[in-house]
Structure 1
Amino acid sequence: MIKLFITSSCASCRKARRWLQENGLPFNEINIKTSLTKQDLIDILTHTDKGTEDIISTHCELYKQLNLDFTTMKFSEFIKTIETYPLLIKRPIIMDESNIQIGFNEEDIRVFLPQELRTIQRLEILEERWFKEVSNSL
């Protein structure tokens, strides 16, 4: 099952939700502000390559105001900080058993499609490009 971690005010979150719905993919929506759990954070972090560096929004005003250094912070402190300030997390976060996408990227999100559907879409794109090239050469 796909998990979609969002906030309601985030435009990228709405795009991710719409994309999942349009592609008929079932997902569990989790509001970062109200429903994020310690286990969710652990699951997210285990899917990342760089841990907290991948999920913390260092460009947000809140991060700058708090002047935090996650590189020296103990894990328990990190969890408490995110529980207190969940909007420090980048969003949306889209995750299943083996994949994670942080932020919305229309190309990368296709990883959540079943393999056979990705193959069909890839063939359709190649066919469309081929027709354009043939039409342009005539």
Structure 2
Amino acid sequence: MIKIYHNPRCSKSRDGLKILEESGKDFQIVKYLDVPMKKEEIKKVLELLEISAEELIRKNEKVWKENYKDKELSEDEIIAAMQEHPKLIERPIVVNNEKAVIGRPPEKIKDLL
């Protein structure tokens, strides 16, 4: 099952959702701001994306700049920050079986389908 980690207020996320809708494939929408991802879920997504936790962070977010920017943080500390502040997570993320992409630009999602 295809899964999109979606923020309806984000234009790139809405564009990614439109690509999935137009694909005609079944998918699940995860509004991760409403229901924050668990630590294990974030770790699995990072594994599928083949990136570090820091690479999934939106570093221009105010909460990152004010609380984390100049600190040396472990993977677990960065994941904890994402759990506490889900808007720090880059979006949209689309997972299809054992592959995942960050939909920036949204056209990258097409490679996953």
Structure-1 separation of matches of 2:112 and 2:103: 14
> How many correspondences in the alignment?
112
Give 5+ residue unaligned stretches, structure 1: 114-138
Aligned match of 1:16: 16
Counterpart in 2 of 1:130?
none
Q: Considering fraction of residues, name the structure with more helix.
A: 1
Flag structure 2 segments of 5+ consecutive residues without an equivalent: none
Q: What's the offset of the Cα at 1:106?
A: 4.3
State the shift of 1:54 in Å: 2.4
Compute the displacement of 1:97 (Å).
2.0
Aligned partners of 1:48 and 1:54 also within 8 Å: no
Contact 1:15 1:104 in 2 (8 A): no
The one-letter code sitting in structure 2 at the alignment partner of 1:8 is: P
1:68-107 correspondence runs (5 A): 68=69, 72-73=73-74, 75=76, 77-107=77-107
Deviations 1:88-136 (A, max 9, x none): 11111111223221133244222222xxxxxxxxxxxxxxxxxxxxxxx
Q: 1:46 to 1:71 in 2, by over 3 A?
A: farther
Partner of 1:56: 57
Highest CA radius of gyration, 1 or 2?
1
TM-score (norm 2): 0.83
Q: State how far apart, in whole Å, the 1-side matches of 2:101 and 2:93 are.
A: 6
Identity %: 25
RMSD over aligned CA atoms reads: 2.0
Q: Which structure would you say has the larger RCO, counting Cα contacts within 8 Å and 6 or more residues apart?
A: 2
Q: Is 1:110–2:110 an aligned residue pair? A: yes
